[in-house]
A and B are shown apart, each in its own frame.
Chain A
Amino acid sequence: MLGYVIRRILVMIPTLVAISALVFIIIQLPPGDYFTTYMNELQSRGESVDKAKLEFIKQQYGFDKPMIEQYFVWLTGLLQGDFGYSFEFSRPVSEVVGDRLSLSFVVSFTTIIFTWVVAFPIGVYSAVRQYSIGDYTLTFFGFLGLATPNFLLALVLQWVAFTSFQTSIGGLMDPAYLDQGWSIDKMLSVLEHLWVPVVVIGTSGTAGMIRRLRANLLDELHKQYVTTARAKGLPPGRALIKYPLRMALNPFIADIGNLLPEVISGAAIVSIVLSLPTTGPMLLNALQSQDMYLAGSFLMFLATLTVVGTLISDLALGMLDPRIRLGGGAEK
């Protein structure tokens, strides 16, 4: 296993270097830079701009240097834990991201738990009781969840939360708690607001997962080894859990690779509609305003999480399903 892990980690190095180069090129592609955009904004509002000062700032941040040099400075900084400086927030990127990261994590982690807790039993039930009324009903709701746009559901649930529970519109807490430190009341307020984004973001994921689990489990349940196990008198519960369910879980495990970045990135569109102070809208703003270090470092962080998540899912998958399909002899 050590040899496998070593090889996988080594493959990650060129992957991440290539991603970093792509990310840097893409965020540099639009003409101009953050300061040019900022200068144009000021000029459009009729405000005066000290061009000499602007040039000085550009020089200070190395904007006058060739792109390749800027890239290596940024990359070296990343490796040393220096994610750069956010021009828009006038703070280091690590501080800007750090503030929103915890709330993004709370929302996304709760959503993942919600998705799994809801999807797992329903998926198993739908497969075991195929074509029953329960299966048809749950499948109907599953398709409904898949077909409903998240932002629309977000608006509807906000209205329901406001009219039925007097929950304030938007955000992850009551506006009164925004500038306060953490307290029991503030946490209760977060919990009061949390269910809306969790249900909205989780619905489509839940529906998709139900469909996949149902399809995979049905495939396994129709295989001969299950029939043989039943014929030999294995109790139905054991005949379900021992192998078919284990095999049907593979897509869940393979999903871990996508799960890690999802936990951090947050659903951007839903976050904007619900005014959530998560990282999704922040990334969008950074890309729009060409806040290159904030956008670049955050994208790089997401890419790293994706690559690490893929490694974790591969390792977990290897442990869960070590079935081998080898054509020839062992390679030297």
Chain B
Amino acid sequence: MTHSYPLTSLYGDYLRALVGLVFMGTPFYFTLGNLYLMIIFGALTFLFLFFGIRTVIRHLTVIETTPQTITAIGPLGRQIAWDKITKVDLKYFSTKREKSADGWMQLKICDVTHCLKIESNLEGFDQIAARAATAAFNNGAEINETTMENFTAMGVTVDLPEEKTG
């Protein structure tokens, strides 16, 4: 099964990268004589440029899942076997202080050598997250408390062995 980032879900990020490049790049150009401001605006311009490139990479990437593996096909593509997963991290981000549902999630799946990051605007993100949780549970992979809570919030229940104390 293949999953991709719908273009409509990436419009926002393209716009953010563009606005950031304009608002940071323009002052950067005009502050070439002032070292401190040049460093500040230069770093910010680079950050937005990097973000834009990352958005393009996500746009071109297709995630393929099979019963054995999850594969990112595209620039910086990589493959991880479900039974080789050593760590799963599910983070939730929100720019609102009250951490309401107005945010997005990021799933990080790692084996011994690689990590694969997927964001919640990917089609079929919930199924991939559920599959990753199951695989991580079966492998006894590292899952932190925050990730557990996020899985629970998504409706994915993971019963982990009781944590040792002392």
Contact = CB atoms under 8 A, between A and B. Distances in A.
Interface of A: 1-11, 13, 79-81, 229, 232-235, 322-332
Given A9-B20, A323-B149, A3 B30 contact: no
Contacts of B79: none
Interface string B101-140: 1111110000000000001110001100100000000000
B11 interface: no
A326 B150 contact: yes
Contact of B23 (A13, A234, A325): A13
Given A4-B93, A7-B16, A326-B99, A79 B27 contact: yes
Interface of B: 9, 13, 16-17, 19-20, 23, 27, 30-31, 33-34, 36-37, 44, 47-48, 50-51, 54, 91-93, 95, 99-106, 119-121, 125-126, 129, 145-146, 149-150, 153-155, 165-166
Contacts of A328: 101, 153
A330 B155 CA distance: 10
A71 to B, nearest CB: 17
A81 B48 CA distance: 22
A324 B165 contact: no
Given A3-B104, A325-B99, A327-B101, A9 B54 contact: no
B51 A3 contact: yes
B57 to A, nearest CB: 12
Given A324-B146, A327-B100, A2 B153 contact: no
Given A234-B166, A323-B146, A7 B95 contact: yes
Contacts of A7: 16, 95
For A5, A232, A324, the residue with the greatest tally of chain B CB atoms inside 10 Å of its CB is A324
Identify whether the interface residues of B are mostly helix, strand, loop, or mixed.
helix
Given A3-B104, A324-B150, 20 more contacts: A1-B93, A2-B47, A6-B20, A7-B95, A9-B20, A9-B44, A11-B95, A79-B27, A80-B34, A81-B31, A81-B33, A324-B149, A326-B101, A326-B150, A328-B153, A329-B153, A330-B105, A330-B154, A331-B120, A332-B120
Given A9-B44, A326-B99, A330-B126, A79 B31 contact: yes
Contacts of B121: 332
23 contacts: A1-B93, A1-B106, A3-B93, A9-B20, A9-B44, A10-B19, A10-B20, A13-B23, A80-B27, A80-B30, A80-B33, A81-B31, A232-B166, A233-B166, A323-B149, A324-B99, A326-B101, A326-B149, A326-B150, A327-B100, A330-B126, A331-B104, A331-B120
A253 B47 CA distance: 25
A330 B48 CA distance: 25
A291 B81 CA distance: 67
A232 B165 contact: yes
A293 B155 CA distance: 56
A2 B165 contact: no
B34 A81 contact: yes
A323 B95 CA distance: 15
A233 B119 CA distance: 40
A327 B155 CA distance: 10
A330 B31 contact: no
Contact of B54 (A2, A8, A229, A325): A2
Contacts of B44: 9
Given A79-B27, A322-B91, A322-B146, A327 B153 contact: yes
A1 B93 CA distance: 8
A330 B27 CA distance: 36
Contacts of A81: 31, 33-34, 36-37
B95 A324 contact: no
Contact of B125 (A3, A10, A323, A330): A330
